């Protein structure tokens, strides 16, 4: 019996650090592609990637949303090339006709809601 208990303790001590070292990637689900780094640097500084992934909008709608965030939410001014990079990425990966991905599962089934925001993890 002591041998079993000792073996369990040793296994816990060996496995626990590996489990503790694993952290959730706040950018999980954002597809790889040109502009992803700009999205991570400028968009996920204020909210997580889940908020991006649950929305599908045209380039012009994403552009209007960025303008709203700058005017109403304190988003900093973006260099034109950075803004274009972000818009290109969002239009390609989170546009209305973008391939289905992880974000589709999070869409609210009721069309009455334009956005569904997950709880702030902070």
Q: So where are the chain's domains?
A: 26-122
- State pLDDT tens for residues 79-112: 999 999 999 999 999 998 876 554 444 444 445 5
pTM here is 0.63
- State pLDDT tens for residues 50-67: 999 999 999 999 999 999
CB 102 within 8 A of CB 94: no
Mean pLDDT rounded to a whole number for the chain:
78
- Residues in the chain, total: 122
Confidence of residue 29 (pLDDT cuts 50, 70, 90): confident
């Amino acid at each position: 019996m002591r041998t079993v208990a000792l073996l369990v303790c040793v296994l816990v001590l060996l496995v626990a650090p590996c489990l503790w070292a694993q952290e959730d990637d706040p950018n999980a689900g954002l597809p790889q592609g040109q502009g992803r780094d700009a999205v991570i640097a400028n968009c996920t500084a204020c909210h997580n990637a889940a908020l991006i992934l649950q929305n599908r909008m045209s380039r012009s709608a994403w552009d209007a949303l960025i303008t709203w965030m700058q005017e109403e939410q304190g988003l900093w001014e973006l260099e034109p090339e950075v803004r274009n990079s972000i818009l290109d990425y969002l239009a390609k990966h989170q546009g209305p006709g973008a391939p289905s991905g992880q974000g589709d599962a999070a869409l609210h089934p009721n069309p009455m809601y334009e956005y569904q925001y997950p709880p702030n993890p902070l």
